[in-house]
Chain A
Amino acid sequence: MKNIGATFLDKYSKLKVSKLTRITFVLPLVIVLIAVAVIIGLGETTGDYTSAVGIGIDFQGGTMLTVNGLDNDGELQAKIDEIESIIESIEDANGSRVSVSYIQRLSGVDGISVSFRYQNASEDNDVITAHNEAIRAELMSYLYPDEETAADDAITFDQIGATAAQDLLSKAGIALAVSTVLILIYIVIRFTPTAAFAAVLALIHDVIVMFALTVICRVQINSSFVAAMITIIAYSINNTIIIFDRCREYLKPLKGMKNIDYDAVGDTSVRENMRRSVFTTATTMITVIFLAILGSASIREFCVPIILGLIAGLFSSVCLATPMWAAFSRSWDKLKAKRAATAAYAGAAPSASDDDDDKEVIFKPDRKDDDDDEGFAPKASQPKSKSGGDKPKGKPIYKYSKKNTSFKKKK
């Protein structure tokens, strides 16, 4: 009672996630659509799709401007800040500006140099050169206002290539695919195939939604983003497994029984794990939030995707994984029962298991191949809402006729 937060959570954990699928399954879809709209909108107006997505200097390369011969006195930092703002204030022929990604001090025998790395605002070499010359002129007049002709190498430009190892993305992709398959196998062994399938779909959801949120928040995607994404996947799968563990426990005494109410099992498991899910996300997020608040822009570039991913991971394990698992398990049971029934006695009464929509069984294999659970979301939620939503207890209605029709059809 002293813990207001705890009682608050207890009160609100009476919710049934399986009844919220109409909202929760559509939400990721909306986020992805917004991200697509942002990319297309920005890409069409600027004509540059890579910057619309927010691919950063690590993957794209850019310009490295080096200011040589600076004095290492107390004003160096102020000077660096001023140079940065000058670089960012100059517009090129198309009216675009650059933003400095990395600033580094280089010290050697010739005193201090400072390098500024930024992505080019355009893809046209002439425009880039003209833009860089304009920046040089402006910087020259700031740094050497008195001298007509400063040393030629006071400011130099280099075009730099991508710093991210060429194979960073492809290797990360392969690693992701391999670990997904292994995780799938592990969950099939320890849990059930339906749980494995739901967990992996939730994982794919996290990848997509995290990427979409990063695009919407206009955070640059650099090589640290790959690490951030892996962090989130590891975190979210862990979160999902903990909830499935509770489901597994509830199902243990029910083994071999028919008509198991998977939705109720899932809802109870989610509810009982709610405190833990929220606490864990909070304790993990708190450090990253402080890192984002205190750190520089490039640190924030790394932390913001993680924060967004933690939220997406929490959402998917709580709201998506168990309803998906429940739906798959129901179909699975029905499929098994149907097979058993057909095998035992062709023409006997239909299977023990049931649902509002027999077609689900037929659709299931298709969904397995579908990478994007968002695509599946509306399909699943709409038929359910039609028949089951308005019943007082919220349980689906099972229509005799429909079932028989479909059974006949099968025959």
Chain B
Amino acid sequence: MNLKKSIVILTVVAVFIILMAVFALVSFPIADTVYDYHGYATTIKLGLDLSGGVSAVFDVQPDGYGDLETRVDGTVTSLQDMLVSEGYTEAVVTKTRRGDNFAIRVEVPDVNNADDVLDLIGRPAKLQFVGATSAGEVGSALPADAVVAVEGGRHLSSAFVTMQNGDFAVGLEFNEEGTKAFADLTSNYSYVHIYINGELFSNVQVQSEISDGRAIITSESWAEDYNAASEFATQLQAGAFGVTLSAGEVRNISPSLGDDAVRVAIIAGAIGVGLIFIFMAVMYRGLGLAADIALVVYILLLVWFCSVLPWVQLTLPGIAGLLLSIGMAVDANIIIFERIRDEYRHSSKPIPSAIKTGFKRSFAAILDGNVTTLIGAVVLWIIGSASIVGFAVTLFIGIILSMFTALVVTRLLIKCLLPINSTSERFYGLRRAKEGEHKEEQSFIRTEAVKGGDVK
């Protein structure tokens, strides 16, 4: 690499850093549109603990069906699962109790409008199947004397969007009791009237007995519209909760870690990263400087990914994951530089070739160290529950990026430094071993062992 080329590369990196940094923070209206550009660092989604959100209390209607508390617990779990599937991995669902009355408190981060939470949970839809022997005329309302064979709250286990003949449809899955009830219904009657919230939804002819506990509901109104089908599925799902919920008070809540949690995290991060920069520059001089620049690239890319990827809702643990990955990014550099230092110290190699060997020899260590961590992150991503997933994703991005910056960016920058200055020990913070400081040639074979009687 010649001097000209390296200056060009350094300039490109500098421009990249400046542009990324500017776009991270500034906000401006985009010309000729109604949209505003918001700096990507300011649009990172934050969890309940850092930014607060909306809390909605749903009162549980008392009913006479027996053990209410167990069903409330079940509903808490279903609500939590539903919110996670909607992308709100950091939402918190809590059972509360005042006297003998239960309520369920749902706290959703990053939502400003209270009604949004109600939309998320869905306005529960009560699903009822009534059998009929002939097509006949059916009134639009559920007759008072109708025998409801299958009911959402008691028999439905899940509702989801699926495809049938190229159209969207809502698939139903019944629980054990529901499977049996539905099989009875379809074997005894030739028509099934489906009621939603007491109103006739459709009148279906039964083809044969269905005993696998699955059914599909189609409707012309949302055959083409995924969102409408999904909303309907959500409503059915909400109607399938074991308890009847009614919306109570909805309020905005402040961050649970205190109002200044984000500010504190940013200040602590800035101090920490600043000290790391100084440390690297002091310990490794020119090499450290290159690592610092690579680290800036790393942090900018990390922030950008956090703001773009949908699963990332930053919480305090998420921030810790980021800090750890910054630590690992520095670590990769330290491993390489220590290796270069050793190479230079115990040999008569010139600086460029010591650097080259250093990078080559530390590659295996960095790869293995990061892959093991990566395995952990991926497993957590797949298995972990709600709040762990966000953490695993940040850790995953962090590790991939840290390997990239250490092995590619740092290397590129140092390659660019070499044509500018390839001989100064001072600049690279390297020195040869002094007299008497030479690495002992150590034998790792035990000689005493012969005493043990190594007979062949």
Contacts of B324 in A (CB 8 A): 231, 234-235, 284
Are B320's CB and A288's CB within 8 A? yes
Contacts of A282 in B (CB 8 A): 279
Contacts of B269 in A (CB 8 A): 287, 291
Are B331's CB and A261's CB within 8 A? no
Are B317's CB and A186's CB within 8 A? no
Q: Does A233 touch B at the CB level, under 8 Å? A: yes
Q: Does A179 touch B at the CB level, under 8 Å? A: yes
Give Cα A141–Cα B391 distance, bound, in whole angstroms: 44
Chain B, 249-290, contact with A by CB distance < 8 Å: what is the 0/1 string? 111111111101100110111011101100100110000000
Interface size on A, residues (CB 8 A): 99
Interface residues of A in 321-348 (CB under 8 A from B): 348
Q: A159-B98, A161-B96 are in contact. Are A175 and B454 (CB under 8 A)?
A: no
Q: Does B221 touch A at the CB level, under 8 Å? A: no
Are B387's CB and A168's CB within 8 A? yes
Are B388's CB and A403's CB within 8 A? no
Chain A, 283-294, contact with B by CB distance < 8 Å: what is the 0/1 string? 110111111011
Which among A19-27, A237-245, A364-372 touches the partner chain? Answer: A237-245
Q: A175-B380, A279-B283 are in contact. Are A291 and B388 (CB under 8 A)?
A: no
Q: Does A379 touch B at the CB level, under 8 Å? A: no
Give Cα A64–Cα B256 distance, bound, in whole angstroms: 13
Are A234's CB and B97's CB within 8 A? no
Closest residue to A182 on the B side, CB-wise? B375
Q: Does B176 touch A at the CB level, under 8 Å? A: no
Are A287's CB and B268's CB within 8 A? yes
Which among A39-47, A86-94, A100-108, A206-214 touches the partner chain? Answer: A100-108
Are A299's CB and B327's CB within 8 A? no
Are A287's CB and B251's CB within 8 A? no
Give Cα A161–Cα B96 distance, bound, in whole angstroms: 6
Contact of A234 among B249, B316, B361, B377 (CB under 8 A): B377
Q: Does A378 touch B at the CB level, under 8 Å? A: no
Q: What total of A-B pairs shows CB separation below 8 Å?
A: 287
Are B77's CB and A288's CB within 8 A? no
Contacts of B245 in A (CB 8 A): none
Chain B, 214-252, contact with A by CB distance < 8 Å: what is the 0/1 string? 000000000000000000000000000000000001111
Q: A238-B328, A291-B265 are in contact. Are A165 and B369 (CB under 8 A)?
A: no
Interface residues of A in 169-186 (CB under 8 A from B): 171-172, 174-175, 178-179, 182-183, 186
Are B76's CB and A161's CB within 8 A? yes
Contacts of A160 in B (CB 8 A): 94-97, 105
Q: Does B313 touch A at the CB level, under 8 Å? A: no
Q: Does B139 touch A at the CB level, under 8 Å? A: no
Give Cα A245–Cα B331 distance, bound, in whole angstroms: 15
Are A298's CB and B323's CB within 8 A? no
Give Cα A268–Cα B282 distance, bound, in whole angstroms: 26
Which among A28-36, A48-56, A142-150, A251-259 touches the partner chain? Answer: A251-259
Are A259's CB and B368's CB within 8 A? no
Are A268's CB and B442's CB within 8 A? yes
Interface residues of A in 361-403 (CB under 8 A from B): 395, 398, 400, 403
State the Cβ distance, B274 to closest chain A Cβ, in Å.
Answer: 10
State the Cβ distance, A183 to closest chain B Cβ, in Å.
Answer: 5
Show the binding face of A for B, using Cβ within 8 Å. Answer: 3, 6, 64, 102-108, 113, 156-163, 165-168, 171-172, 174-175, 178-179, 182-183, 186-187, 190-191, 223-224, 226-228, 230-231, 233-235, 237-239, 241-242, 245-246, 248-251, 254, 257-261, 264-265, 268, 272-273, 275-276, 279-280, 282-284, 286-291, 293-296, 298-299, 302-303, 306, 348-350, 352-354, 395, 398, 400, 403
Give 10 CB contacts A-B under 8 Å. A158-B98, A165-B385, A234-B395, A254-B445, A268-B444, A284-B331, A288-B272, A290-B272, A294-B264, A294-B267
